[in-house]
Amino acid sequence: MRSGLPALAGTAKGGDKLPGSNKLPELRFNDGPVEMALAVIYAATEDDKRRKAFRARINYFQRAKVLGDDVEVGKGKQNAYSIVQIECGLLAWN
C-alpha cells in the first residue's frame, strides 16, 4: 500500500550507498589571512612587542605539531589550514 509519501534515502534499490561524487573537498585557507584574523582576535596587532610574541607562538605551534603533521615550518613554505586546524589554533591560545 503506497501512502503517497516520498521514499526515504536508503530504502530504494541501491539507495544505501552514497556515490563518491557527493563528497565535498575539504576547505583550506591560506596561512596569511588565517594568522591575521587570529592576531586581530587576540589583539596582537597593536604594537611590535605583541606581534613578535604572537608570531613566536605560531612558530612554536607549528614546530610542536599542535596544528597537525601536514603543517610545515620553514621559510618559503605556504601552509593552508583546514577548519579543524583553525579551531585547534583558537583553542591552543586559551
Tens of pLDDT, residues 24-77:
778 888 888 988 988 898 888 888 999 999 889 888 888 888 877 877 777 677
d(CA 93, CA 43): 12
Band of residue 16 on the pLDDT scale cut at 50, 70, 90: low
pLDDT beyond 70 at 83: yes
Asked if residue 4 has pLDDT above 70, the reply is no
**CB distance 93 to 57 below 8 Å:** yes
**H helix and E strand count, the chain:** 3, 2
**Can you give the pLDDT at residue 17?**
58
* pLDDT band of 82, cuts 50, 70, 90: confident
